[in-house]
Structure 1
Amino acid sequence: MNDSQTIRAAAIQISPVLFSRDGTTEKVLQAIAKAAKAGVQLIVFPETFIPYYPYFSFVQPPVLMGQEHMRLYEEAVTVPGPVVDAVSRAARSYAMVVVLGVNERDHGSLYNTQLIFDADGTLLLKRRKITPTYHERMVWGQGDGSGLRVVETAVGKLGALACWEHYNPLARFALMAQHEQIHCAQFPGSLVGQIFADQIEVTIRHHALEAGCFVVNATGWLSPEQVGQITTDEKLQRVLSGGCNTAIIGPEGNHLCPPITEGEGMAIADLNFSLITKRKRMMDCVGHYSRPELLQLQVNLEAQTVMAESPDSNFLMAEIPLDPSLQPTP
């Protein structure tokens, strides 16, 4: 990527079609087509947008959420699978890099997964949230370090984290150390209220400043009718509001377009890569401002598995001579 090049990015604030993988996927495809008409080259969708974020787990006790958890299993995305194929075709058709959050089903487990598609439709990265937060631990399994990677795309070097992974400074530093140019952040939205929106603001602007990169952040949104579908308890409905802050931040920590804090919409901005060098000239946390002889990060980037083949699957037990005193008497 030429440091003087400019690309156009979009962060999408959008509501899912609750309880429908196919319906929400169709909204993704429509948003990609609409963004293409605006000249967008990179589009970022909210956290676990397909089929929908598991809001039920925030308002229901574990003993009561079995039915909704099972419904999420039924509507979850498999990788590879039809949803991946459809988004891949759209990315290729519009020559657009797509960052999409999904609930991924891998046999008997669900994961909070981020997918990065290149402009030719190639799935470059499938990463799983390394530590689900609080109520999410009843829904999703844990990811591993194989997803803490920056990938080279048609629009530059991309890294991605979901929600409170941004409060893990070592996870963020792992991406910074790989010189990400655009950081793609995803949050659920319509959760906890204004304080959550304020926290998102602080989080994404700080990462842009510290990493010297662009941050494209997408949050979801629920309509009042959808909140009523999730819970009829008016007290609980109040916690399924606010918390939306879809924004694009420059390397100097400034908004590059007006943020979206309510309703559906598309935040669009042009990213001029010369601003990265301008920021890092002053402070490069993984370059001239680092002190590797004092502070270093060690990270395991290997994918983990529950079963690994022995290096020598045909090994023989070693013959250990017995103590002569224990030999039977002839």
Structure 2
Amino acid sequence: MPRIAAAIVQAEPVPLDVTGGIAALPAHIEAAADGGATVVAFGETFLGGYPIWLDEAPGAALWDHPGSKAMHRILLDQAIRPGDERLAPIQKLVDRRGLIVSVGAHERVRSSLVNTQLLFRPGQPPLPHRKLVPTHGERLIWARGDGSTLGVHQADWGNVGHLICWEHWMPLARAAMHNQREAVHVAAWPTVRDTYAIASRHYAFEGRCFVLAAGTVLNRDTLLDGLGRCGGDPEARALIEAMPDGQLQYGGSMIIAPNGDILAEAGGHEEILHAELDLDLIGQGLAALDTDGHYARPDVFKLNVNTAEQAGVVFEDKS
């Protein structure tokens, strides 16, 4: 089995301004690739930034809050769409350098926002994963995904997949992904807190795969700057200014081996984390634990996964 070079880009996004974030993305990817990486991961909703005001702004969850409504309108306007032409330069870069890149984004599906992780891969369209259940207050901004985006990319050396944040505490989602035999899994987080690190290391051990637990960094001033790029709505500005000053997201990214060991760990500021992944460790670990094989009991437990897209409204031509 080959050795794969992987990297996590732990950087500040361009908050709210998704178009600006897409424009800034190639430099981050090139920097990781120049360091030798062929698999590159970014954190949750790197394009547009995590909606940190839901956690940090007093009253943001109140009904009809003017600042929250203004932020929602901005993200709806900015969000990527299926087949978004703004992503073409990223695809060209991935094709040219033979990279696999996982990056989070706000996606607009009809009139709703969805938390989506996009997996760019050479010669193929991006593989999306839409978060199945927005966590707690996130339900105020994001709709739910469905089983149609629970796939993996089949690289020559193994499969690559990803889940977002608290999906790593959904046992059946983990089982569905383990069944697809990931060699590398991207766990996308806003900040990799202690409990999030536990979930990421558990996923690596349980799934016998390498995990890139990718976090981001964010300061309130950067969020204000992103708002200015999008017109500087005064009600949205008041919402942001009500948040604590200084740093709001703290990175903590890590690259984890199939036995749960941490191969590389970032601090709380911007950096690119690199590690070499020895894929032989996967087969060695499977000798003791294969949760989808000899540690499964299909005669006792069975999981059915509905991979059909749930459109909600279907127009049929019965003429």
TM-score by structure 2 length?
Answer: 0.88
> Aligned residue for 2:152?
150
What are the Cα deviations for residues 245-282 of structure 1, in whole angstroms up to 9, with x where unaligned? Answer: 2111000100112x113111111111111000111111
> Aligned residue for 1:299?
305
Asked if the contact 2:220–2:245 (Cα under 8 Å) also holds between the matched residues in 1, the reply is no
The yes-or-no answer on 1:201 pairing with 2:208 is no
- Size of the alignment, in residue pairs? 300
**One of 166, 191, 202 as aligned partner of 2:168:** 166
Asked if the contact 1:119–1:154 (Cα under 8 Å) also holds between the matched residues in 2, the reply is no
Asked if the contact 2:220–2:247 (Cα under 8 Å) also holds between the matched residues in 1, the reply is no
Measured in 2, the distance between the counterparts of 1:110 and 1:248 equals 29
Taking the TM superposition and a 5 Å limit, the aligned residue runs for 1:73-84 are 73-84=76-87
**One of 10, 23, 28 as aligned partner of 1:26:** 23
Taking the TM superposition and a 5 Å limit, the aligned residue runs for 1:83-102 are 83-102=86-105
Measured in 2, the distance between the counterparts of 1:96 and 1:155 equals 13
Measured in 2, the distance between the counterparts of 1:243 and 1:172 equals 26
Asked if the contact 1:97–1:154 (Cα under 8 Å) also holds between the matched residues in 2, the reply is no
The RMSD of aligned alpha carbons is 2.0
Asked if the contact 1:42–1:155 (Cα under 8 Å) also holds between the matched residues in 2, the reply is no
Structure 2 residues without counterparts, runs of 5 or longer: 226-238
- Structure 1 residue 54, shift from structure 2 partner: 1.6
Measured in 2, the distance between the counterparts of 1:85 and 1:79 equals 12
TM-score by structure 1 length?
Answer: 0.85
Letter in 2 for 1:144: D
Measured in 2, the distance between the counterparts of 1:35 and 1:239 equals 27
Structure 1 residues without counterparts, runs of 5 or longer: 190-195, 315-330
Q: Does the residue aligned with 2:202 lie in a helix, a strand or coil?
A: helix
Measured in 1, the distance between the counterparts of 2:53 and 2:75 equals 10
| 1:227/1:78 CA distance change after superposition, 3 Å | closer
Measured in 1, the distance between the counterparts of 2:193 and 2:171 equals 20
**One of 100, 103, 108 as aligned partner of 1:105:** 108
What are the Cα deviations for residues 263-315 of structure 1, in whole angstroms up to 9, with x where unaligned? Answer: 111111111110001111111111111111111211111111123355x825x
The yes-or-no answer on 1:252 pairing with 2:249 is no
What are the Cα deviations for residues 143-174 of structure 1, in whole angstroms up to 9, with x where unaligned? Answer: 00011122212552011100011111110110
Measured in 2, the distance between the counterparts of 1:73 and 1:244 equals 26
Asked if the contact 1:97–1:155 (Cα under 8 Å) also holds between the matched residues in 2, the reply is no
Percentage of pairs with the same residue: 31
**One of 303, 306, 313 as aligned partner of 2:318:** 313
What are the Cα deviations for residues 8-43 of structure 1, in whole angstroms up to 9, with x where unaligned? Answer: 111111111223223211221101111121111010
Q: Which has the higher strand share?
A: 2
Q: Does the residue aligned with 1:282 lie in a helix, a strand or coil?
A: coil
Q: Does the residue aligned with 1:256 lie in a helix, a strand or coil?
A: strand
- Structure with the bigger RCO (C-alpha within 8 Å, sep 6+) is 2
Measured in 2, the distance between the counterparts of 1:7 and 1:119 equals 16
